[in-house]
Structure formats: structure tokens, C-alpha cells
């Protein structure tokens, strides 16, 4: 059975002016038995920003391109189904 692992990794904190930035990533690891094949999908998740007065906020890193592409493909599929139904009803 392949091993599927998902984890959130935190990088080193960077000091930029009055801000401390900590990057976070979302890692998906798939390893086949025997460790002879595998797949790693590593993508940015968020950055945690800490100000000098202790305020902490998390800024999510959104993949706009992927969001738009999947929305378009879902819209196309839905449109095709609707067209099919419309023609059938006529």
C-alpha cells in the first residue's frame, strides 16, 4: 500500500523591519512500497506576520490561477450538462 502523508511545515522566521515573517507550506507526500517511487507536492500555505508589539496575523497564500482554472472547467462541465438537458427537454 502506498504511504500518503500530508503535513504543514514551518520555515525559518525572517526579520523585515518591524515584522517577523514565518512561512508555512503544505506538503503532500506519496511513497510507494520499497521507497522506489514517490511524489511530493509542496505548495505555499500562509505567512504568519508578527509585529513588534506582539500582534500576530496569518496571511493565506491563495493560488488564484488554480482557482480560476478549476472554476472555468467546472463551469464548462456544468454548462455542457445544462445544454444537454435543455436539448433533451425540447
Residue among 33, 39, 36 at smallest CA distance from 1: 33
- Within 14-53, the residues that bind another protein by CB under 8 A are 14, 16-19, 21, 23-25, 27, 29, 32, 35-44, 47, 49
| Strands ordered across the beta sheet of 19-31 | 3-10, 19-31, 14-16
Residue in 4, 13, 56, 83 binding another protein, rule: CB under 8 A: 83
Instruction: Name the DSSP letter for residue 71.
Output: H
| Site residue total, another protein (CB under 8 A) | 49
Which residues of the shown chain bind another protein in the complex (CB under 8 A)? 9-12, 14, 16-19, 21, 23-25, 27, 29, 32, 35-44, 47, 49, 59-65, 68-69, 72-73, 75-77, 79-80, 83-84, 87-88, 90
Amino acid at each position: 500500500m502506498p504511504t500518503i502523508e500530508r503535513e504543514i511545515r514551518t520555515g525559518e522566521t525572517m526579520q523585515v523591519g518591524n515584522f517577523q515573517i514565518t512561512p508555512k507550506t503544505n506538503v503532500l507526500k506519496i511513497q510507494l512500497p520499497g521507497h522506489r517511487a514517490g511524489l511530493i507536492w509542496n505548495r505555499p500555505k500562509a505567512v504568519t506576520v508578527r509585529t513588534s508589539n506582539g500582534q500576530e496575523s496569518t496571511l493565506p497564500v491563495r493560488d488564484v490561477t488554480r482557482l480560476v482554472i478549476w472554476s472555468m472547467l467546472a463551469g464548462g462541465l456544468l454548462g455542457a450538462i445544462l445544454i444537454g438537458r435543455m436539448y433533451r427537454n425540447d
